Amino acid sequence: MAADLFDAIVKGDEDFVRDLIDRRPESAEERDAEGVSAVRRAVYAGQDGIAKVLLDANPALDVFDAAATGRSRGLEELLEAEPALAVAWSTDGFTPLHLAAYLGQEEAAELLIARGADVNAVARNETLHVAPLHSAAAGGHAKIVAILLEHGADPNSRQGGGFTPLHAAAQNGDRESVEALLESGADPAAANDEGKTPGELARAAGHDVSDELLS
């Protein structure tokens, strides 16, 4: 049954998930082979409707689920009970701060940082060797980019492929993040492993706004 649930999440079959949860509410607490909850898998897939169906069943959320969904009250309760959760690692290689940063959960990100989360932690995921700042820039969350920089995030940190946060912000045409990164010392001349600078990625994506700052 768990396999059917996760298959439906991937396919975006909200009706199947709703019917399953109506019949078996406990299914909302299922986890996949990686140990990722159904709620978080739905959020990863951008299936907000399915995530809501699952959350409405009131499953127990771990620190990663709470960070990813922005359930700040539950997150705070978890951190109060076990402060070390602020620097815990998920089974798929992320800290709660990575998830809050990528998914735009500003309040959760601020709470985690206040509780000691490492703003420069590098994901242990097999393919995504990102810091929270890469996650926020990739997700286009300028406010979280600014928060992370204010708390010491390295603007020139490299993820797989040699990409810096500035590469992601420039490619997305995210002027606010580009400005914040440059003000914090991001190197506009930094090249990724393919020799591309942030400005070149901005131009290739047709983002004139970012290109103005990176020329």
Read off the pLDDT of residues 41-78 as tens digits, 9 standing for 90 and up.
Answer: 999 999 999 999 999 999 999 999 999 999 999 999 99
Q: How far apart are CA 11 and CA 22, in angstroms?
A: 19
pTM of the model: 0.94
What contacts 179, CB < 8 A, 6 or more positions away? Answer: 213
Read off the pLDDT of residues 143-167 as tens digits, 9 standing for 90 and up.
Answer: 999 999 999 999 999 999 999 999 9
Asked whether residue 178 carries a pLDDT value surpassing 70, the answer given is yes
In contact, 153 and 120? CB cutoff 8 Å: yes
Number of H helices, E strands in the chain: 14, 0
Burial class (CB in 10 A: 0-12, 13-18, 19+), 85: buried
Asked whether residue 214 carries a pLDDT value surpassing 80, the answer given is no
